[in-house]
Amino acid sequence: MSDADRKRPPHVLVLWNQTDEDVYEVWKQLGPQPLPWDPSRTASEVGTVQEEMDQLLSALRANGFRVSVVNVRDDFEKLLAAVTLYEPDVIFNLVEYFYDDETLEPHVAAVYDLLDVPYTGNTPLTLATCQSKIRTKILLEAYGLPTSPWMECKPGEPIPEPGAEGFELHYPLIVKPGREDASGGIEPESVVHDYESLCRRVRYVWHEFEQPALVEEYIDGREIHAAILGNFREGRRNPFCFKEEWAVPPQTPEVLPLFEMEFEEPEDDWEPQIISYKAKWDPHSKQFYQMDAVCPAEDLDPDTEERIREIALEAYRVMGCRDYARIDMRVEHDTGDIYILEVNPNPDLADGSAYVMCSDASGRTYAQLLGEIVRMALARRPPDEGASEPVQREPSDLLLREYRRTGYRPVAEPGGAGGAGGASAGGEGAGEGGAGEGEGGAGEGEGEGGAGEGAGGAGEGEGGAGEGGES
């Protein structure tokens, strides 16, 4: 990289994937449409995908970044060509599926890793882990984080019946597809009150989504979302200072002002208060108008708010999140207990989304939010190959790392003269002859030289392994 290139603003490549027509664009072209359940009203206008993309690109350019954008359109060769052609400093990753398969989302991030190009958002491991609601609950529970009682119903297996051994859930229950996001498969009918409706809904999930069903106790309470921005970093003390001084200060992600989804009270009978798929996405549905976003959340007592923030931050850490994510929770009306509903490692970043509302409430502009996310990814750039003294990365092979540091010379272990070093390599060479007894240890049999010599040489004190390649 030339000095001129280093002085230029970072180049951000925005990658996204849209193949089908945008239904919001179609509705916009058709003009105002009467609501089927109230013809006197027309459906609210929802921003199109292109409008959201234009706002995002404008906000990135407001940071002074050089910005390119490519819709890869389910074309893997196009994705590779875009990265090769543009040679970006960082990829702003908006690819949430490939070949209409959301389970491939982590694989796209893995491609960026293999290409050694930093990108915004979470790692393949975190994306894949959070994609499974069941795996997420297992991890959260293992770390003592609160989630509602649950069970998994695998396709074709008997559905446990209340009162049966191992069935400890209490109605009402909510049935969700185990791997869907964006409220996919969540409808008022997802909340069930008896075994017959439970079986019906579980079988619906099996048939429609071809995946296990997650069955949880329904938590009747306030729905609070915690948007988190930033990364954990362990601090390093200054070894040359007697005072407690940080050479590198510790860093903790920021929990932004809390978001609440308030639900309209039902007029007659009890209704579940949930963010269904239609409530989230369909402006022609009555459910779309039965909830209202509030940020920051109001009338939360300080202790509850602090506890929500603590739980959200720990869930962010446990799931390995980085850059940004959203933790969705419920606060039960009767007890005030807090339960994690979901960890979303890839929340919507469109201007006006829940996550961006939290950022707005923190005092950031949309451009400032996106700028912070990009700069976090830029900090992960590999060492500059054009630098006068390129930084050599530490190898992952522990043995290679150890011997590289010693100039590939064996080091005698504490308390072990002569054959002690060989014993550690061969595993069975603790006697007089050192490593010679093992099946080769690090030398793997008859390696003439290489690691075999190292294992043999380590015993050269008092009788050691002696014979070189025989170790």
Torsion of CA 376, 379, 380, 384, to 10 degrees: 150
| 425 CA to centre of own chain | 39
| Distance between CA atoms of residues 29 and 208, nearest Å | 31
For 50, 157, 305, 393, the CA distances from 69, given in Å and listed in that order, are 12, 46, 39, 31
CB atoms within 10 A of CB 467: 13
Torsion of CA 97, 98, 104, 107, to 10 degrees: -110
Q: Is there a contact between 404 and 397 (Cβ–Cβ < 8 Å)?
A: no
pLDDT at position 450 is 39
pLDDT at position 396 is 80
List, as own/partner pairs, every contact residues 169-172 make where C-beta atoms lie below 8 angstroms and the sequence separation is at least 24, other chains included. 169/215, 169/216, 169/217, 170/217, 172/217, 172/218, 172/272
Coil vs helix vs strand at 94: strand
pLDDT at position 243 is 53
Amino acid present at 183: S
pLDDT at position 409 is 82
Q: Is there a contact between 443 and 471 (Cβ–Cβ < 8 Å)?
A: yes
DSSP 196-224: HHHHHHHHHHHHHH-SPEEEEE---EEEE
- Report cis status (omega within 30 of 0) of the bond before 296: yes
Q: Could you list the pLDDT tens digit for every one of the 471 residues in the chain?
A: 555 556 789 999 999 999 999 999 999 999 999 999 999 999 999 999 999 999 999 999 999 999 999 999 999 999 999 999 999 999 999 999 999 999 999 999 999 999 999 999 999 999 999 999 999 999 999 999 999 999 999 999 999 887 677 678 999 999 999 999 999 999 999 999 999 999 999 999 999 999 999 999 999 999 999 999 999 986 555 555 555 555 556 789 999 999 999 999 877 778 899 999 999 999 999 999 999 999 999 999 999 999 999 999 999 999 999 999 999 999 999 999 999 999 999 999 999 999 999 999 999 999 999 999 999 999 998 766 445 555 566 788 888 888 788 887 887 777 655 444 444 444 444 444 334 444 434 334 443 333 334 333 333 444 443 334 443
pTM metric for this prediction: 0.81
pLDDT at position 170 is 92
List domains and CATH numbers for the chain.
11-119 (3.40.50), 122-145+220-258+295-382 (3.30.470.20)
Mention every residue, 6+ apart, whose C-beta is less than 8 A from residue 469: 443, 446, 447, 448, 449, 452, 453, 456
pLDDT at position 129 is 97
